[in-house]
Chains A and B, each alone.
Chain A
Amino acid sequence: MNAFKRDKKEEEDGGGNPFQNLEKTTVLQEARTFNDTPVNPRKCAHILTKILYLLNQGEQLGTMEATEAFFAMTKLFQSRDVVLRRLVYLGIKELSSLAEDVIIVTSSLTKDMTGKEDLYRAAAIRALCTITDGGMLAAIERYMKQAIVDRSPAVSSAALVSSLHLTNVSGDVARRWANEAQEALNSNNVMVQYHALGVLYQARKSDKHAVIKLVAKLTKTSPKSPYAACMLIRIACKLLEDVGEAMGLLSFIESCLRQKSEMVVYEAAHALVNLGRSGAREIGPAISVLQLFCVSPKPALRFAAVRTLNKVAMTHPAAVTACNLDLENLITDSNRSIATLAITTLLKTGAESSVDR
């Protein structure tokens, strides 16, 4: 009876999950198909997907097994199939920490990152940087600098993000590539702008004056990318702790309250109320913005607002009192986290008069 039930359940799952009950050893055996010439892209892609799936499920591979699979996988570079190639990149990234001698693919990846196919280039850069060590860094430096200023946003972003990861390999990577990052900062692409700002900040964060210069320039013309704007607000907050209000940083953050993107508006409001220095007058505009968010149809926005108000209530209960009515409505919110936060906030701000309601 029990077995029957189980069968039925599997049937309901739609003829069984093709990836269920995969055996590690069987799949690794199948990986020998990679050595066949010519490569069968569909078949190999399917086997590679199985390996990636097993790794994703938390299956442990020994060094030997991983190395063997890795070397079999390198044979797939012969195929020009786009999906297969991309899966190989993914495989390189997943196995790079488990297998030995992974630098064997350096030349293949360098070739792909400097090739013509944009779809290969960005992904190849990211794969290459995961297998790069201190010694190899010099060899790829020239290509990386070029890639950062590439006109394809995918390539540029990939190079910028990878250089941040490479900080673990060599601390001064970001500083050495700062000129290129500076150029990428002018990109029209929102993500490239964001990543470039991240690299520039990483390069300059130990030098206060350089950060001041960077922020002063950027605050004049607010970044177009909402992600970059959020990052800039965070940098400005950090700077405020050191240099005070001399640079008009506060007014920049306040001006972000009037941006179009909700993400930036919330970031600015959050920053303003959390700057330890602000008095009730400074946080007024931020509180009104958060109050508006409290009645948003989006749960995430209500959550963000009430969570922030909850924290402000500890230091400035009087300023939050204005939101009490909205908070009371949130007590019955279908999201329990929001309701709980609303109640605890009201406990700090509420007066006797509201107890009855």
Chain B
Amino acid sequence: MDGQLLEPTLYTVKGMAILDNDGNRILAKYYDKNVFPTSKEQKAFEKNLFNKTHRANAEIIMLDGLTCVYRSNVDLFFYVMGSSHENELILMSVLNCLYDSVSQILRKNVEKRAVLDSLDIVMLAMDEICDGGIILDADASSVVQRVALRTDDIPLGEQTVAQVLQSAKEQLKWSLLK
């Protein structure tokens, strides 16, 4: 029975992935060197995972000794992997954060094309959610705040007063320098 008790550690997440609708990797990150050490093994796992999940919209699956939670939209699949003993609801909270952050970054336009257009910001967001297997932040709005969207990309109405002031300041500075 001892094996069932969870080791108290912050290293919770084994991996995160965003795949397209052919099961190809858009972004993926594995945090445990003992789980799929080479990219060949990782991709084989992703293919397998995709085949098992792309039709059934079932949210959770056990595969290769990992608990994988997932969510899809249009042509994108989001996955979060953890050990098979991990608390599924913690993994779920990470998945929701990943999905919601991407959704906010892309302004609800969650599809492959949009992700590729903002790939840099999505990479930064993934980096803010999980650091080396430890959940860094699980609140989507705080993640989005931390990745520093380019202010000129946000329509004026959605900017905070501080952001507007900041960009005004910068513009003034540049016009003076010219």
- Chain A bound to chain B: yes
Query: Does B160 sit within 8 A of A, measured CB to CB?
Result: no
Please determine whether A335 and B136 come into contact, CB atoms closer than 8 angstroms: no
Q: What residues of A have a CB within 8 angstroms of the CB of B138 in the complex? A: 191, 227
Q: What residues of B have a CB within 8 angstroms of the CB of A330 in the complex? A: none
Q: What residues of A have a CB within 8 angstroms of the CB of B147 in the complex? A: 86
Report the bound CA distance from A46 to B62 in whole Å.
37
Please determine whether A234 and B112 come into contact, CB atoms closer than 8 angstroms: no
Report the bound CA distance from A334 to B90 in whole Å.
22
Task: Give the nearest-CB partner of B113 in chain A.
Answer: A14
> Number of A residues whose C-beta is below 8 Å from B?
68
Query: Does A72 sit within 8 A of B, measured CB to CB?
Result: no
Please determine whether B120 and A45 come into contact, CB atoms closer than 8 angstroms: yes
Q: What residues of B have a CB within 8 angstroms of the CB of A227 in the complex? A: 90, 135, 138
Report the bound CA distance from A221 to B97 in whole Å.
28
Q: What residues of B have a CB within 8 angstroms of the CB of A238 in the complex? A: 5, 7-8
Report the bound CA distance from A243 to B1 in whole Å.
18
Please determine whether B60 and A161 come into contact, CB atoms closer than 8 angstroms: no
Nearest CB of chain A from residue B150's CB, rounded to whole Å: 6
Please determine whether B90 and A263 come into contact, CB atoms closer than 8 angstroms: yes
Taking a contact as CB atoms closer than 8 A, the residue among A53, A119, A205 that contacts B146 in the complex is A119
Please determine whether A300 and B150 come into contact, CB atoms closer than 8 angstroms: no
Nearest CB of chain A from residue B64's CB, rounded to whole Å: 13
Please determine whether A126 and B131 come into contact, CB atoms closer than 8 angstroms: yes
Report the bound CA distance from A128 to B134 in whole Å.
17
Taking a contact as CB atoms closer than 8 A, the residue among B40, B89, B119 that contacts A304 in the complex is B89
Please determine whether B5 and A53 come into contact, CB atoms closer than 8 angstroms: no
Query: Does A18 sit within 8 A of B, measured CB to CB?
Result: yes
Q: What residues of A have a CB within 8 angstroms of the CB of B117 in the complex? A: 18
Report the bound CA distance from A90 to B139 in whole Å.
21
- Interface positions of A from 11 to 41, Cβ below 8 Å from B: 13-14, 17-19
Query: Does A67 sit within 8 A of B, measured CB to CB?
Result: no
Please determine whether A303 and B60 come into contact, CB atoms closer than 8 angstroms: yes
Please determine whether B146 and A19 come into contact, CB atoms closer than 8 angstroms: no
Report the bound CA distance from A119 to B124 in whole Å.
12
Report the bound CA distance from A271 to B87 in whole Å.
10
Please determine whether B134 and A300 come into contact, CB atoms closer than 8 angstroms: no
Please determine whether B89 and A83 come into contact, CB atoms closer than 8 angstroms: no
Nearest CB of chain B from residue A156's CB, rounded to whole Å: 11
Query: Does A114 sit within 8 A of B, measured CB to CB?
Result: no
Q: What residues of B have a CB within 8 angstroms of the CB of A19 in the complex? A: 116, 119
Query: Does B10 sit within 8 A of A, measured CB to CB?
Result: yes
Choose, from A101-109, A140-148, A193-201, A347-355, the stretch at the interface: A193-201
Please determine whether A90 and B123 come into contact, CB atoms closer than 8 angstroms: yes
Chain B, residues 56-90, CB within 8 Å of chain A (1/0): the string is 10111110000001000000000000000001111
Please determine whether B60 and A299 come into contact, CB atoms closer than 8 angstroms: yes
Task: Give the nearest-CB partner of B88 in chain A.
Answer: A304
Query: Does A275 sit within 8 A of B, measured CB to CB?
Result: yes
Query: Does B47 sit within 8 A of A, measured CB to CB?
Result: no
Taking a contact as CB atoms closer than 8 A, the residue among B90, B123, B139 that contacts A49 in the complex is B123
Query: Does B102 sit within 8 A of A, measured CB to CB?
Result: no
Please determine whether A161 and B134 come into contact, CB atoms closer than 8 angstroms: yes
Taking a contact as CB atoms closer than 8 A, the residue among A46, A87, A198 that contacts B134 in the complex is A198
Please determine whether B88 and A230 come into contact, CB atoms closer than 8 angstroms: no
Please determine whether B123 and A52 come into contact, CB atoms closer than 8 angstroms: yes
Please determine whether B134 and A195 come into contact, CB atoms closer than 8 angstroms: yes
Please determine whether B120 and A83 come into contact, CB atoms closer than 8 angstroms: yes
Q: What residues of B have a CB within 8 angstroms of the CB of A267 in the complex? A: 87, 89
Please determine whether A271 and B112 come into contact, CB atoms closer than 8 angstroms: no
Query: Does B25 sit within 8 A of A, measured CB to CB?
Result: yes
Query: Does B100 sit within 8 A of A, measured CB to CB?
Result: no
Please determine whether B136 and A157 come into contact, CB atoms closer than 8 angstroms: yes
Report the bound CA distance from A145 to B6 in whole Å.
30
- Interface positions of A from 292 to 340, Cβ below 8 Å from B: 298-301, 303-304, 307, 311, 315, 334-338
A-B contact pairs, 12 of them (CB 8 A): A17-B112, A53-B119, A83-B121, A191-B137, A198-B10, A205-B8, A241-B5, A299-B59, A300-B88, A334-B56, A335-B59, A335-B61
In the A-B complex, list the 9 residue pairs whose CB atoms are closest, starting with the nearest: A58-B39, A335-B58, A198-B10, A234-B8, A299-B59, A274-B4, A263-B89, A276-B1, A304-B88
